Structure 1
Amino acid sequence: MFNNDSMNYYSTSTLKSALLKSYAWMAVALSITAVVSYGLYATNALMILLSTMPFLFMLFVIAPFILSIAFGVSMARSTSSTGMKVMLVLYAICMGVSLTSIGYVYDVATIGTAFLVSAVYFISLAVIGTTSKKDFTSFGSLCMIGLFVLIITQCFMMLFRVSMDVRLLSIITLLIFTGITVWDVQRMNRLLIQSDGSIVAQDKIAIFMALQLYLDFLNIFLRILQLIGMGNRNNK
């Protein structure tokens, strides 16, 4: 899949170190999101924020889109990864604010179960993406097209108030992000191997892919939560 010249930049141990760094930053981002969400829910700070500063809440919702663009710009520039690390932390905080609402919809046991199932599911996909000799590039591209079509379809359904079974929508989205996750894991290996082998390049790719995998995990978690949480709504 990769040419011999690009492979010379990385030893096996260096590649593993770079991969572990990316997964570590992904775990850090998930932890920040979880802590922020729990803190806002436990203290009821989200309701206070919504009632007193609704525009600030909207800023937290819009900020991830801006940060995503900034990530792409930072990858293209020959700068250090420090700024990208700060943006990843800010992204995780913003997502923590946005996801606090699930605490008012599902009970703690359901959320915990969904998280554990998602973790096992994600790890399985990561292993497949890392060890499989099959090239998932075309499959990943197909999933991205499917995701784009799904988003457009949802917009039309909302506009014309067309109903669709939540379970069916969750399953379709889960299948799409299954393909995207395996593709991202394989893409991370490819980017690392084809880079110039410098510490700066390694760090930037690790942080960039940590964001991609973080988003993959969150989407898998939310879809599994919807499937498991049907009939287990929090009546608080």
Structure 2
Amino acid sequence: MAFFLRRPFAVSSALRQAPKLSNTARFIHNSPLKPTQATKPQPGASSVFNKSRQTFQNAFRRTYMQQTFNTQSGSMGQKLMYGAAIVGGTVVATNFIFNRETREDGGMPDYERSFLNETFMHTGLGLGIIAIAARALHTTGWSYRLMAMNPWAVLGVGLVGSIGSMYGTFYTSPDNYVMKYGCWTLFNLTQAALLSPLMFYNPALLARAGIYTVGLMGSIAFVGATAKQEKYLYLGGPLLAGVVLVAISGLAPMVLPATAARSLMWSERIWLYGGLAVFGGFTLYDVQKVLHHARLAQRGLIKRDVVNESVSLELDFINIFVRMVQILGMRNNNRK
């Protein structure tokens, strides 16, 4: 049930960002447009139609992001040092606050370490498939077609595709490798199709959001892996209630009128910052759940299935990454 409630977030977030895309990307064509062609209105065509047609044409052209050079921004080495200091400080702070009671069994056994490493490997592989497929779909114009569709239709089809492929992965035995990895690949491709509109953003912004997400999830995963056994498994119930609240706030712009500015503002804050807290907690919970399943598999109570465990961490990463992109995009817009 928790996975069913987590899925709609990336869909609505990508669709809600459609009006802001023009602020973050520049389109440069092979031959510049003449001033008379750019300003001359076409007879018999409305401004809405012209705007839609231009957006559609730009979606099929190659995009180049032009980054201005700031002489006062410092060298690349300084930026890397600052980023490393932030990530390292986050790891130390989270470990000090949340991990005062460490494991009492002498450290992580080899079978738990192996299970966790294979889970992280499949998580990284799945996220790589999503990134490559999303980029490929974006270059073919799928992003524009997705945003031009009815949001409710996209939400319904996205839920069916995502949940169907996800539960197909869950309920396929790990002994059936072909069917198992086929459903898992289909799940990743479904996520790529829904996340492809994010490719309209500046690649530098997406890279920063990815680095921040890796740092956040890495620090939380470190805490979960070194904490006392089953210390954070009780978070499942409270996190489920939190994800329901975040889901409702994410769907609020589709229901509330545009005049309810204050309600929309608070729903957006709950969606962004409440979602970061909830899915950060889910990362902590899922890492401890992976170790718990490793112990059960060692005793022969369940089958060893790292693919199922990786799906949970992929969903955590996607939901945190989408919110990081949204926060950084809003920050860049406020600077202009």
Q: Distance in 2 between matches of 1:79 and 1:47?
A: 40
Give the TM-score of the pair, scaled to structure 1: 0.79
**Aligned to 2:264, which of 157, 163, 183?**
163
Q: Distance in 1 between matches of 2:251 and 2:147?
A: 25
**Aligned to 2:164, which of 66, 72, 78?**
66
After TM superposition, give the deviation of residue 192 of structure 1 in Å: 1.2
CA contact (8 A) 1:61 1:95 kept: no
* Other-structure match for 2:214: 119
Identity rate, percent: 20
Larger CA Rg, structure 1 vs 2: 2
Whether 1:228 aligns to 2:328 is yes
* Other-structure match for 1:101: 197
* Other-structure match for 1:87: 183
The 1:195/1:150 distance shift into structure 2, 3 A limit, reads: same
Q: Distance in 1 between matches of 2:249 and 2:312?
A: 23
The 1:150/1:47 distance shift into structure 2, 3 A limit, reads: closer
Count of aligned pairs: 217
Q: Structure 2: where are the runs of 5+ without partners?
A: 1-104, 258-262
SS of the aligned residue for 1:143 comes to helix
The 1:169/1:153 distance shift into structure 2, 3 A limit, reads: closer
Whether 1:185 aligns to 2:290 is no
CA contact (8 A) 1:157 1:163 kept: yes
SS of the aligned residue for 1:163 comes to helix
Give the TM-score of the pair, scaled to structure 2: 0.57
Residue type of the partner of 1:164? Answer: M
User: Greater CA deviation, 29-38 or 131-140?
Assistant: 131-140
Q: Structure 1: where are the runs of 5+ without partners?
A: 1-6
CA contact (8 A) 1:81 1:207 kept: no
Higher relative contact order (CA 8 A, sep 6+): 1
Output aligned runs, 1:140-159, within 5 Å.
Answer: 140-155=236-251, 158-159=254-255
Whether 1:136 aligns to 2:232 is yes
Residue type of the partner of 1:118? Answer: T
Deviation string 1:171-224 (CA, Å, 9 cap, x unpaired) is 1100001111100000010011012556x922x2x1111000010011111111
SS of the aligned residue for 1:133 comes to coil
Q: Compute the RMSD of aligned alpha carbons.
A: 3.1
